[in-house]
Amino acid sequence: MGAPAIERLRSSVVSKLTDVPKRILIGRALRSDRLGETLLPKRIALPVFASDPLSSVAYAPGEVLLVLSIAGVTAYHFSPWIAVAVVVLMFTVVASYRQNVHAYPSGGGDYEVATTNLGPKAGLTVASALLVDYVLTVAVSISSGIENLGSAIPFVVEHKVACAIGVIVLLTLMNLRGVRESGSLFAIPTYIFVAGVFTMIAWGAFRGLVLDDTMRAPTADYAIKPEHQGLAGFALVFLLLRAFSSGCAALTGVEAISNGVPAFRKPKSKNAATTLAAMGLLAVTMFCGIIALAAATDVRMAENPARDLVHNGVPLGPDYVQHPVIAQVAEAVFGADSILFIVLAAATALVLFLAANTAYNGFPLLGSILAQDRYLPRQLHTRGDRLAFSNGIVLLAGAAALLVGIYGADSTRLIQLYIVGVFVSFTLSQTGMVRHWNRHLATEKDQAKRRHMIRSRAINAFGAFFTGLVLVVVLVTKFTHGAWVALLGMVIFYATMTAIRKHYDRVAAEIAAPEGPSDDLVRPSRVHSVVLISKIHRPALRALAYAKLMRSDTLEALSVNVDPAETKALREEWERRGIDVPLKILDSPYREITRPIIEYVKSLRKESPRDAVSVIIPEYVVGHWYEHLLHNQSALRLKGRLLFTPGIMVTSVPYQLQSSEAAKRRARRQQDWNAPGSVRRGPAQVRSKESTERKS
């Protein structure tokens, strides 16, 4: 085997070693024209966009009981009424958002509704609230899932932060593979969870109502030591409102469907509205069923179980692990050793992990829309190899992992930050929809359409009033318990996006092509070309030849005297070769290279402000990433400084080393392979056609 064949084999092996892991993790790149294949049918869209509200029934009932436990077991009899209030709110929000998806099917969701009808500031407020809430959705869902899993596997509880971050990484990789693939993976556990909860509710109702069995939760014999005994009046009302606001966690994620309408198959709006209705019906049924079974089986929960849960007059102590409500109810209904209990426990933990997928679909899509409107970096609008918004997915994962680390993966602490943002978006979105219907009613003459609009406006008006009332309750009851952190996050997002938009607007105004005469269109009086020389070698000679081809008004070579011996050798070699370009040497007593060149170039500009100065830099081009560490660092620093010097043109003259030629041959052999980013560069057939034409 000859040397060229060995080199080809080596290049092929290296390429495969670097590409195979990425392709295993996220799959092969998809062409842009395959975007339609990633659209979702309703059966897949339900677990993709509604996994958050469906899974929240695993912890929302427990949060209600935790708050009520402050007043002792006697306050538990309020839990059914709180459940009724949550159900009314859920149906109101679902009915309101069904109007949204029909009126605004483009995928902007709450952000588009608020921006169009209430103005950019309201839209940006909604966007800030949703971005914060999506990050919290990931943190809360995964932390809660870790706690559920930890009831069966002690190792998970002992290392819950590391385990939670590991789950975030896994979900990130799954979503980087694309919406459809991740949705197919998530559908099975979500449907198993829903079926398991409904089976538990049905079997529990049958045992209690028909068989008259006594079902007892594992905590049924415990007493609760109330923090405040005998609450009444305003204090009791405040406690009930706080319990209601905690139960409203069941509504998080409802808005994700209105943001994800473009991901549905046609007819998009109809399918999205149907999915919304199905999600609402399933969520409220499961929520009410678990609350009812918790009351029937005498579940006991406490915010500080080690101190406040008492058995035979003795606190349980720090070794006691408090299991979630759904786990206690399942144990009471099915039995601790039954297969149904084990399946439901596993499905609950898994679906809580997958509930974060609602945010993994909502955050990148909203980020893409905001980037298109120049409120976030443009990179968030770019689709990755698998046609997912990869940069948004990675940003969400990083923010959620940071939050999990800060709060120790404690869902009880994290949930206090929760739902503030979502009710801000609910309220502003529904207010915007009222303005939307008012605007259309002012011009619509058809009586049938007017009746439909009036009915829709009434639904949205009631939704705006109800969600606004809940927002006030949430802020009042949760502000000191952590809601202020969510508000601070919203302010930071709002300020950052405003600053980004101002930057993009300023740049756009500055670089806009003028209609009349401009200094940029005026030809410089003269052009002075300066070629930077360190040694006489092939790259330097090529740069000199290129500079001569430019036919500038003046041309000189420039070198910096860092080492006198090397400078002397350069002068002698220059004269020996008889190079017909003047060589100028700049002294540098402190051995700097960049500063003397910058000062010299500035002096040329100062002498002749109307002239242009072209700085020509010879550079090596290498083929391996590690070789970049050994070359071109001084050239990069110099170019970075020259970019900020007005009137200076910087030209790089590349000289390809052998390793770069090998890389080019390797890329040519793999031209039919979709390289990273090739989807964004254009269809592969075009490149293949060009290659065929060159060969012929």
- Is-contact 524 610, C-beta < 8 A? yes
457 neighbors 444 (Cβ within 8 angstroms) = no
What is the pLDDT, as a whole number, of residue 318?
79
Identical fold for domains 34-503 and 524-656, yes or no, is no
- Domain limits of the chain? 34-503, 524-656
- Alpha carbon of residue 342 to chain centroid: 33
Strand 309-311 versus strand 223-224 pairing type: antiparallel
Q: How far apart are CA 13 and CA 540, in angstroms?
A: 34
- pLDDT score of 388: 62
**Using CA atoms, how far apart are residues 301 and 545, in angstroms rounded to an integer?**
82
CA 133, CA 501: separation in Å to the nearest integer?
22
CB neighbour class for 544 (10 Å; exposed up to 12, middle 13-18, buried from 19): buried
| CATH superfamily name and code, 34-503 | Amino acid/polyamine transporter I (1.20.1740.10)
**Confidence label for 517 from pLDDT (cuts 50, 70 and 90):** low
Average pLDDT over residues 570-580: 90
Please tell me whether residue 54 adopts helix, strand or coil conformation. Answer: helix
Query: Percent of the chain having pLDDT more than 70?
Result: 79
Point out the least confidently predicted range of 117-121, 399-403, 414-418, 517-521.
517-521
Spell out the CATH class of 524-656.
alpha beta
d(CA 259, CA 63): 27
CB atoms within 10 A of CB 448: 8
For residue 645, the SS3 value is coil
- Is residue 420 within 8 A of residue 478, CB to CB? The reply is yes
Per DSSP bridges, beta strands 648-656 and 612-621 are: parallel
* Higher-pLDDT residue of 154, 275: 275
Q: Which residues contact 204 (CB under 8 A, 6 or more apart)?
A: 215, 289, 293, 296, 297, 329, 332, 333
- Write out the E strands in 32-153: none
- C-alpha 527, offset from chain centre: 48
Per the listing, tokens 């049905």 go with 202
Of 295-299, 482-486, 657-661, give the range with the top mean pLDDT.
295-299
- The secondary structure of residue 512, as a DSSP letter, is P
User: At 686, which helix (H) or strand (E)?
Assistant: helix 684-695
Within 8 A by CB and 6+ apart from 244, the residues are 64, 82, 85, 86, 470, 473
Give per-residue pLDDT as tens, 350-393: 887 777 777 887 788 888 888 888 898 887 876 655 456 778 88
- 251-271 pLDDT, tens per residue? 776 777 776 777 787 888 888
pTM here is: 0.67
Contacts of 78 by beta carbon, 8 Å cutoff, 6+ apart: 68, 240, 243
% of the chain with per-residue pLDDT over 90: 9
Residue 361 or 27, more confident: 361
